[in-house]
Structure 1
Amino acid sequence: MTPPAYPDAGGPPPYPDGAAPPPYPDVEAPPVHPGEAPTPMYPGGAPAGTGFDRPPPVRPEAGPSRPDGAPGTSVPAAPPPPYQDPAPSPPDGGARHDDLALQSGRKHLKAHQRGVDGASLAQLVMSLPVALISLSVVSFAFSLVDATLGLVMAAAWLLSGPLVFHRPAEAAIARHLLGMRRPTPAEAERLGAVWEEVTRRAGVSQGTYELWVQERAELNATAAAGHIVAVTRHAMDRLPNSRLAAVLAHELGHHVGGHTWAGMLADWYALPARTVWRWILAGLAGLLRSRSKANVACGGCLGLLLLQFIWVLAFQESMWWLVLPLVAAPVLIAWLHRRAEFRADDYAAGLGFRDDLMAVLAAEHQARSVPAVPPPGAPPMPSHAPHQPGTPPPHTAPATPPARKSAHSNFEARLQHLRQGAA
């Protein structure tokens, strides 16, 4: 085997000291050492280990010239890093829970942290006629037993209203009547951080109100009694901290404006009168729906007597000031509730949560507007074909109650109100 020709030259350079170079080894394969197996042949040609099986070296390519005029060389680019799967998205659609920007510095508390706005005062005024009727109902019911007992129970019922500010009574109302619970340590830690930021911006003491949790499947929070702010478990799971803070700021606006305690006082003092009225309507409805003609006739007579009593009371006895608010109370109270929602939204927007609150309202409006889709594996819907006698009736899925239109219009009105305030 002859050595290859030397590149770009007439021959190899002279060997040092003028000696003749040794002959090129005529080796076809490496020698086999005693006690060892022969080296396997490399697939496709030269035996492994002879040097011909190694990959060719990376030759530098021509690159830009250096400042001294010599041709430069370009270094081959490094290989790309290995591909890695992206981190899985959180269950709330990609929203992070810790996206709330926290303010720093000294916290300034306002001198007056609770007040009464126009919506609260109007609601209390509208509740006065119903409260007078409730007082008469309580006094009359206990006077049937004893006249003195009637006066004592009427006074006790009037004094029971401020219990909405008594914390043990609030806790009992929240736990047994409203279905709320205390937050777990993990929930309390997260709610505490968000609530601290909300109260810092509002200038309200953090310990003035208590945080509770409701097990309800909706993005909502509730201001109850005099010192309770409750958020649904569904809202904590689905909302990041910025939007959760917007919801809590809205409920704080209800407390600061006096909407919560005014509404609870109005509901409490109207409870006896509303209970009696519901009993009367239920009795009349039962008589009118009866199959007995005598019961239907009796229900019609009682209905006419009720209308005559209201007419005499309003026009002949000149007590229209009592009857008119009772008739118009449902419409006016609904309007006042909407005004209270607008005031609470403005309060949250003033704390810097306008965009987050609008996002929550839009999401809740869309969730209630879209009809519910049956889950996979649900039984098929009933067909329009008539049922044949003698065959088992088709299995139908339970009907989904339609969403309330008033809730949709309320969300739309609140969104429009916030957009107008931002414009």
Structure 2
Amino acid sequence: PPLAPGGGPAGMDAHDPRHPHHISTDHGRIHIAAQQRRTDVTAVGRLLLYLPNFLSSLIVVGLVSLFFGDLGFLLVPAWLATGALVFHRPTERALARYVLRLRNPTPQEQAKLEPVWREVTARAGVDGRTYELWVEDSDHLNAVAAAGHIVGVTRFAMNALPNGELAAVMAHELGHHVGGHAWAGLLGYWYALPGRIVWRVLRGVTGVMFKILRAFSCLGALIFIFIVGIVAFATITFLYGLPLLVLTMPYALAAVGRQAELRADQHAAALGFAPMLAAVLEKTHYQEQQVQAALAARNGGVPVTQGRLAKLLASHPDHHTRLHHLQPYLAPQRH
């Protein structure tokens, strides 16, 4: 029979046991591996790339501590200690609920997710009870691994995918956790936050002042640009070029993030979910094409394309790159 986009036979229900991507979730004893987590090269690389941002934030927090008098020396160690909140369960739950807009699954949803998650963790040798399953009320095919223990899937993924494809999605997110990608990304982002806030404030204030001076005269605007240039040059020189390095970090972090996605794909494929993951990627690509078509229709039929810089900042590899890296797991095995 003809195949639906990225799935099984057209017209076949996704939850039909005859679906080619349906898997059995009945298993016997579960082997729990001795090593539950590791920190792979992409996690280490992400932490190293965040180092300039961390140093900038440390300078900011140090300057702010000067305003607290005798108690100011406590501010820096207190800020450093807040990094432990990445693994603090109540903080993780607040992050999931209020930042990622996730919710706890209903009993019916838990009954649907739990057997699939148990199968994924059984194949990986991971204690599934370490992690918490969450749901996002979205009609898009997506999932997320956050902090130290959060695994979230969209309502669409949970209800529309065969359980084998849902398992592939969850195995991908588990790959982010066991590789250390999730906690490394959040920890780096947290310690970079003070520097980011100050940068945005300074950029906003500078922009407002420039508009005010330009409204009065072009000469005032030129003088303002000259003064800002001198201050920027002095700051860059004093900090040994650190601000310039910080400006390049988003592109380097995006490149490392794309490698982390490929590693998570590899993790899911190694657990036997390569065909299912390839089908999910096809469905995701199909949804993206629909979005692009809608944008083109609004733009008078002219396709909306990404610029080169936007592609360099992409958090995920493109569809064809991900499928290319899955080919070794999809090719027939020779005996």
Which bin holds the TM-score, normalised by the shorter protein? 0.7 to 0.9
Distance across 2 between alignment mates of 1:296 and 1:201? 67
Paired residues of 1:114 and 1:258 also in contact (CA < 8 A): yes
Gaps of 5+ in 2: 1-9
* RMSD of Structure 2 on Structure 1 (CA): 3.0
Aligned residue number for residue 267 of structure 2: 347
Aligned residue number for residue 293 of structure 1: 215
Paired residues of 2:54 and 2:192 also in contact (CA < 8 A): yes
* Counterpart check, 1:319 vs 2:237: no
Deviation at residue 323 of structure 1 after TM alignment? 3.8
Distance across 1 between alignment mates of 2:142 and 2:50? 27
Aligned residue number for residue 45 of structure 2: 122
SS at match of 1:352: helix
Deviation at residue 247 of structure 1 after TM alignment? 0.4
Which segment drifts farther, 400-409 or 127-136? 400-409
Aligned residue number for residue 30 of structure 2: 107
Query: 1:80-115 deviations in whole A, cap 9, x for unaligned?
Result: xxxxxxxxxxxx953432522336332111111111
Query: 1:142-187 deviations in whole A, cap 9, x for unaligned?
Result: 422x233332122111100111111111111111222111000000
Aligned residue number for residue 137 of structure 1: 60
Distance across 2 between alignment mates of 1:296 and 1:148? 46
Amino acid at match of 2:253: I
Amino acid at match of 1:102: T
Between structures 1 and 2, the one with greater helix share:
2
Gaps of 5+ in 1: 1-91, 375-379, 384-399
Amino acid at match of 2:53: V
CA spacing shift, 1:216–1:222, aligned 2, 3 Å:
same
Paired residues of 2:30 and 2:122 also in contact (CA < 8 A): yes
* Counterpart check, 1:155 vs 2:77: yes
Deviation at residue 261 of structure 1 after TM alignment? 0.3
Deviation at residue 328 of structure 1 after TM alignment? 2.1
**Count of equivalent residues:** 309
SS at match of 2:189: helix
TM-score by length of 1: 0.66
Distance across 2 between alignment mates of 1:235 and 1:323? 41
Distance across 1 between alignment mates of 2:33 and 2:316? 36
Distance across 2 between alignment mates of 1:188 and 1:419? 33
Aligned residue number for residue 117 of structure 2: 195
TM-score by length of 2: 0.82
CA spacing shift, 1:252–1:371, aligned 2, 3 Å:
closer
CA spacing shift, 1:158–1:358, aligned 2, 3 Å:
same
Deviation at residue 382 of structure 1 after TM alignment? 11
SS at match of 1:137: helix
Paired residues of 2:37 and 2:177 also in contact (CA < 8 A): yes
Query: 1:32-79 deviations in whole A, cap 9, x for unaligned?
Result: xxxxxxxxxxxxxxxxxxxxxxxxxxxxxxxxxxxxxxxxxxxxxxxx
Amino acid at match of 1:264: L
SS at match of 1:351: helix
Q: Please, which of 277, 280, 296 is the counterpart of residue 199 of structure 2?
A: 277
Amino acid at match of 1:411: H
Identity of aligned residues (%): 42
Q: Which has the higher contact order (CA 8 A, sep 6+)?
A: 2
Distance across 2 between alignment mates of 1:135 and 1:171? 27
Paired residues of 1:123 and 1:266 also in contact (CA < 8 A): yes
Paired residues of 1:287 and 1:295 also in contact (CA < 8 A): no
Distance across 2 between alignment mates of 1:143 and 1:354? 55
Paired residues of 2:145 and 2:152 also in contact (CA < 8 A): yes
Aligned residue number for residue 249 of structure 2: 329
SS at match of 2:135: strand
Amino acid at match of 1:219: L
Deviation at residue 311 of structure 1 after TM alignment? 3.5
